[in-house]
Structure 1
Amino acid sequence: MPQDILFISDLHLALDKPEITRRFVDFLQHRAPEASALYILGDLFDAWIGDDDFTPPNSTIRKRLKHLTDSGTKVYLQVGNRDFLLGQRFCQETGITLLGDYAVIDLFGTPTLLTHGDLLCTDDLPYQTFRAKARTLQWQQNVLSKPLLVRLLAARWFRLRSFFHKRQKSQAIMDVNADTVVNTLREYACLRLIHGHTHRPAVHDLSVDGQAAQRFVLAAWHKQAGEALSWNGGAYRREII
């Protein structure tokens, strides 16, 4: 009976990134079935414009995720800042379970907080303002009501704009805020946090009200390699994919 629990994030799957898609498909076919559960903590796709979008590689990913969940591996997904329009139709077609922005799981006896990570970057005020607007039902319904072609073109424009905006921001602003991390762990009564988003893989030791805590940052996947955080019992390891 598989016992490993896997965590990944920030694959940013897209038509123009075939190497990452191939690596992820291989991961779903060979490594993930050996685990009891797989948690995808946001930005699985570089842009998600609605569950009615079947342009490559979306159909392939749907099929491989369905094969995985049918095989018995449980798959959980949190949306990120790139794929937050992903909805229940995608989940029903793949058999995955959609989680909220914050989720607490029992990780081999230790309450562990999971999140994509963008909510922790509270110094990036323009982004947080946009995020609050973009997560409203009215904004999302307005976007999803547009024809698919219009949404595809808009997604390309937003990706280009995001690229140039990031170049103008300091690295500190785009990282998590230390006080926000502590306050969030305190709010959810956890001493372990796993997240992605920042593309800065590391394990950080910190203190929450005098108690030792840890923050695990997942790696982004690139053309050269991907990475998964694997947990089994009290031990963890980073696996190069």
Structure 2
Amino acid sequence: MQTFNHLITTRPHEVRQVFISDLHLSAEEPALVQAFLALLDDCLALPALKRLFILGDWFEVWIGDDAYLTLSAAARQTHWLTPLIVKLKQLRVAGCEILVMHGNRDFLLGQPFCNLFGGELIDEPYSLAVGQQHYRLEHGDALCIDDKKYQFFRKIMRHRLTQWYLLNKSLTKRLKIADKMRDRSQRSNANKATYIMDVNDTAVQTALTNNDALLHGHTHRPHVHQATKDKKRYVLGDWRLLDEEMRQPKVSAVIGTAIEDYDGTEFGLVEFQALV
């Protein structure tokens, strides 16, 4: 895996698409927010960038678009989300599509919020042509079928009636529900075997049917796997704060890039780092 301090320092005129996941942004982690803004600055400097994909868990928790949309104009001015929206809108105006997928933390994210910056909420799995190959994009939690309790929970929470029920609760009640679910998840995961929380090989093989490659996040285990003799599975990394005690902490993440030049299109994972 290559290491790049900034995306724009390597073949900037050839980067066509950027793929990220598992940022887990929140007001409680301002360093991650600043790192995301730094990535957007890099994206704005890429002259041929066509698409930015955010493949789930963009936010640590999302209790509904109305948590932001119902804010007054004055409240929005100081809200931590506003700089992100402004920068994303600049990127969209510059000609880059912004495609957002649900994760297990932000499945209540809606198109109304994405409309603020001209983004598009996409379903998973999402099929994408990268050169001559067909890539399957998804968050990754649906591939962890050995975790049967989580898959049952996922099925319930992704049901439209469950989401309708949640979104009709007050914001205060939704926040309490989200906190309880997060605490329960952390306690449950602490007692699970490592393999249970990773993808299942059979699920991967099924996902690769009629596809040349699979790209996902969720597991926080970035790597390039040779899934079959001629098919690969790319795993994006979560965004992590490094050297927290240093004067200028660093955030690191493994992201995906599709680069196009005279020889064709090349996909790969790179390390993005930002001093915050």
Task: Report the counterpart of residue 190 of structure 1 in structure 2.
Answer: 211
Does residue 1:204 correspond to 2:225, yes or no?
yes
Shift of 1:237: 4.2
Q: Deviations over 1:184-238 (max 9, x none)?
A: 211xx1020000000000000022xxx5110000000011222321121225341
Task: Report the counterpart of residue 235 of structure 2 in structure 1.
Answer: 217
Does residue 1:19 correspond to 2:40, yes or no?
no
Hey, what's the Cα distance between the residues in 2 that align with 1:118 and 1:235?
Answer: 22
Q: Deviations over 1:10-39 (max 9, x none)?
A: 000011111000000111123355122111
Task: Report the counterpart of residue 129 of structure 1 in structure 2.
Answer: 152
**TM-score normalised by L of structure 2:** 0.81
Hey, what's the Cα distance between the residues in 2 that align with 1:123 and 1:237?
Answer: 26
- Of the structure 1 ranges 227-236 and 43-52, higher mean CA displacement relative to structure 2 is found in 227-236
- Where in structure 1 do 4 or more consecutive aligned residues deviate above 6 Å? none
The percent of aligned pairs where both chains have the same amino acid is: 36
RMSD, aligned CA: 1.6
Does residue 1:144 correspond to 2:167, yes or no?
yes
1:160 counterpart (183, 186, 207): 183
Q: Please, which runs of 5 or more residues in structure 1 have no aligned partner?
A: none
Say if 1:13 and 1:57, in contact at 8 Å, map to a contact too: no
Does residue 1:113 correspond to 2:136, yes or no?
yes
Residue 195 of structure 2 aligns to a residue in which SS? coil
Say if 2:136 and 2:208, in contact at 8 Å, map to a contact too: yes
Kindly provide the amino acid, as one letter, of the partner of residue 227 in structure 1: V
Shift of 1:147: 1.0
Residue 231 of structure 1 aligns to a residue in which SS? strand
Residues paired across the two proteins, number: 236
Shift of 1:124: 0.5
Q: Deviations over 1:35-79 (max 9, x none)?
A: 221111100001110001128433332222222112211111111
